[in-house]
Amino acid sequence: MKKLALLFVLVTISCFGQNKTKLVALDDAFYDYIDKNAKIEVLAEGFIWAEGPVWVKEGSFLLFSDVPQNTIFKWSETEGVTEFLKPSGYTGISPYSREPGSNGLIINKQGELVFCEHGDRRISKMPLANGGKVTIADNWKGKRFNSPNDIVQTSNSTYYFTDPPYGLPEQQDSHSREIDAFGVYKIDSEGKVEMVVSNLKRPNGVALSPDEKLLYVNQSDSDESYIMVYQIKNNGTLDEGRIFFDASQLLKEGFVGSLDGLKVAADGTIFSTGPSGVLVITPKGKLLGRIETGQRTANCAWGNDGSVLYMTAHNYLMRIQTKSKGLGF
């Protein structure tokens, strides 16, 4: 693989970004999840908008998207950053939009890499060993998706994903838009697609509770900045949902950044990107503290043994050691 001309460094809180990275505890319980002396490390920089990180256990490396560059990058402790796949989300020959590439990534139950593709407007999958993408779904009732953003899979192989307009040319005003709602969808194990949420302005990150009874959905709309939570019914559909955490006060206080990606720890604690960086929130919706990255932070993922949190923060890739364990580790 081609080695990239990206800065590969390990920098601690004390010397990165004029001390803009820091840990802020709003409750002493925050330190049950993050050691007060934990350091935020910058692993690489030079991206345009880094997104969708996922840890590949077999191989011990991280994959993540740079959406504007239409590229998936690979990071490992031994090799640093290399280009893994280009194009990652748009295979057209003409310019498309500012964000044509892949966004959210996961490893599914079969060990395949699953893509949320902006430009090709689909959910796809690819074996890591020998490549070759296969479309999982690219439409609902014959209408093309907007720009699939983030995705999660249950133990019975049902996918849930969000479909805001961010990857479309002109976004919500795009002439190529075919679906009125910016929906949350499920894809069952037979490939049937169903819209399960239709009333959110900007659905974004998505995650499951440890018992898979709840689905968390981040809304990145600045006027309605909150995490929604939905009960998952026996047939995979959702109830009407409720606001789990309201981040609007953080925006009013001047913190920068939208609710975007989120991940859940094995004990149910939520680690959500949002105003200031990454918010640490209890399963009851109490904000314990913030991992402040000094950047607009798009997403995060558990890696290594499940206790390391990787963060894609604008043009940076960062990580921090936690006391938590991510789901699936």
Q: Write down the pLDDT at residue 243.
A: 98
Q: Write down the pLDDT at residue 20.
A: 84
Q: pTM of the predicted model, to two decimals?
A: 0.94
Q: Write down the pLDDT at residue 11.
A: 36
pLDDT tens, 247-266? 999 999 999 999 999 999 99
pLDDT band at 17 (very low <50, low <70, confident <90, very high): very low
Q: Write down the pLDDT at residue 19.
A: 53
Mean pLDDT of 175-188: 97
Closest CA to 287 of 34, 36, 33, 26: 26
Domains defined along the chain, listed by start: 46-269 (2.120.10.30)
Q: Write down the pLDDT at residue 130.
A: 87
Q: Write down the pLDDT at residue 154.
A: 98
pLDDT tens, 196-238? 999 999 999 999 999 999 999 999 998 999 999 999 999 999 9
pLDDT band at 131 (very low <50, low <70, confident <90, very high): confident
Q: Write down the pLDDT at residue 3.
A: 44
Q: Write down the pLDDT at residue 135.
A: 98
pLDDT tens, 73-120? 999 999 999 999 999 999 999 999 999 999 999 999 999 999 999 999
